[in-house]
A and B are shown apart, each in its own frame.
Chain A
Amino acid sequence: MCIRDRTRLARQINRIEDKLERVLQEIEELRDELKRGPAAGAPAEAEVDGAAGLSHEPPNGSGAANGASSKPASKSGSKSDSKAGSKHISEVP
């Protein structure tokens, strides 16, 4: 087997690995959703409720749905800061 054949074979293996990785990521995502169980159903309900004006939760973003207790605090804080144009650059002496 010459070097060119070996490289071609390695590229094919790489492509297969890429596809497998994507499939694996999908499976892991689905498994995570299943693990969340009742909570996984919550966004759907929230969406329905949201349509009726009962929820202000964004329908998208699995992470946002989960980390409601801690994450949004930091994220939304920085967002509103930036929108207000109050960015502060600390130059540490």
Chain B
Amino acid sequence: MSTLETLARAPRATLEFANVILTTSDAEIGPTPREVVWTHRGTTLYRYRSERREHSIPVLLVFALINRPQIFDLRKGNSFVEFLLAEGFDVFLLDWGVPDEADSDMGLAEFVCDELHWAIRETLRCAGEEELTLLGWCIGGTLCAMYCALHPVGAVRNAALLTTPIDPSGSLYARWVSGDDYDIDLIADSYPVIPGAGIDVANKLMKPVSNYVTTYRRLFQNILDGKDPRTAYQSMAKWVADNPPFPSRAFREWVTWMYKENRLVAGRLWLRGERVDLTAIEQNLLVVTAGSDHIAPRDGTLPLLDLVASGDVTHLDRPGGHIGLMAGSTAKQEIWPELADWLRERSGH
């Protein structure tokens, strides 16, 4: 494009750019029809409607405690849920909800031993099955790993963990919060729930130029080039901006146990009097890491591969970022079919 052409298009592109930014909140995310199966406090278990459930073992999707689980079902035509349904899976989603001050007593034990445990039970009851697949992403993956360690034999047949922090000692997060100058007790005592916006800013500051400059520059450039980035940009931007608060107890335990003391990988993490021993995990295990993941770097996930007792362990390492790997524009052609293949082989009677 010549300079003159660029200058001619710039005013219109600027208006369109402003329009895309200002109407982001109107974007529809999580479009796939679903039904509420079970609720407890703010937690909700959903089952997605499907007319072709071909594989008997249901898949329970578990996302992190930060951001919302709609990333599994971002938008029509680019939804992992939609993809799994089309592949014949019976798909459930665990939504942790939006905690408020009254949920400040929710710790990791409550999420793993109560909410997740009960959600698994309700999934099995609803599906009429005795086993399921847990598919956890980010902190959701860590919670699933903890659950599998506590219940190596039982309802979980397969565990798929996507970009999951297991040994975060080398991560940028750890550098920020593991020192004594990061007073987790002061923070957790000051806020009943940690404001989601604060966590969002911290996440964005990990890659400030990408998050605060490049994203917008790329959007403007796409508009200037005559592309239509509205739908893709708005759905992702809306999801990124939706930050539920983090219960202070869970936040204190997460930061202290995972980042300051690195207990999980060392086998020193206890929930409700039981040791979370990753070496006890016997489920069929799929571990997915992303080469450019700065939130849960692959080196912080790989120790799990050697720790577990599973006889069936698969590792997929793919280029991409923490979220982009699963929700990016190429995910549908690249990583999702690989996940579906792995699940299909392990989802029959």
- Chain A contacts to B: CB under 8 angstroms: 3, 7, 10-11, 13-14, 17-18, 21, 25, 28, 32, 61, 63-64, 66-67, 69-71, 74-75, 77-83, 86-92
B157 at the interface (CB under 8 A from A): yes
CA distance A77 to B157 in the complex (A): 12
Q: Identify 10 residue pairs between A and B in the complex whose beta-carbon atoms are under 8 Å apart, listed by A's number.
A: A7-B102, A10-B100, A10-B102, A14-B102, A14-B103, A17-B41, A18-B41, A21-B118, A78-B282, A78-B312
**CB within 8 Å for A11 and B130 given contacts A17-B41, A21-B118:** no
Say whether A75 contacts B311, CB under 8 Å: no
Distance (whole angstroms) from the CB of A85 to the closest CB of chain B: 10
B125 at the interface (CB under 8 A from A): yes
CA distance A86 to B309 in the complex (A): 10
Grouping DSSP codes into helix (H, G, I), strand (E, B) and loop, the A interface class, with mixed when no group exceeds half, is helix
- Interface 0/1 of B129-145, CB less than 8 Å to A: 01100000000000000
Chain A residue contacts of B103, Cβ below 8 A: 14
Say whether A7 contacts B101, CB under 8 Å: yes
Chain A residue contacts of B40, Cβ below 8 A: 17-18, 21
- Interface 0/1 of B337-349, CB less than 8 Å to A: 0100000001001
B189 at the interface (CB under 8 A from A): no
CA distance A5 to B308 in the complex (A): 47
Distance (whole angstroms) from the CB of A65 to the closest CB of chain B: 10
Say whether B313 contacts A88, CB under 8 Å: yes
Select from chain B the residue with minimum beta-carbon distance to A82. B309
Chain A residue contacts of B192, Cβ below 8 A: 7
Say whether A67 contacts B311, CB under 8 Å: no
**CB within 8 Å for A71 and B100 given contacts A17-B40, A89-B305, A92-B315:** no
CA distance A69 to B155 in the complex (A): 15
**CB within 8 Å for A74 and B316 given contacts A67-B130, A67-B131:** no
Say whether B100 contacts A82, CB under 8 Å: no
- Interface 0/1 of B303-319, CB less than 8 Å to A: 00100111111111100
Select from chain A the residue with minimum beta-carbon distance to B312. A78
Say whether A87 contacts B310, CB under 8 Å: yes
Chain A residue contacts of B153, Cβ below 8 A: 61, 64, 75, 79
Q: Which of B69-114 contact A (CB under 8 A)?
A: 100-103, 105, 114
B284 at the interface (CB under 8 A from A): yes
Say whether B313 contacts A90, CB under 8 Å: yes
CA distance A63 to B41 in the complex (A): 27
CA distance A28 to B122 in the complex (A): 10
A87 contact from B102, B309, B317, Cβ within 8 A: B309
CA distance A46 to B126 in the complex (A): 29
Say whether A82 contacts B102, CB under 8 Å: no
CA distance A87 to B287 in the complex (A): 15
Distance (whole angstroms) from the CB of B221 to the closest CB of chain A: 34
B11 at the interface (CB under 8 A from A): no
Say whether A78 contacts B311, CB under 8 Å: yes
CA distance A90 to B287 in the complex (A): 10
**CB within 8 Å for A89 and B313 given contacts A10-B102, A70-B349:** yes
Say whether A92 contacts B102, CB under 8 Å: no
Chain B residue contacts of A18, Cβ below 8 A: 40-41, 114
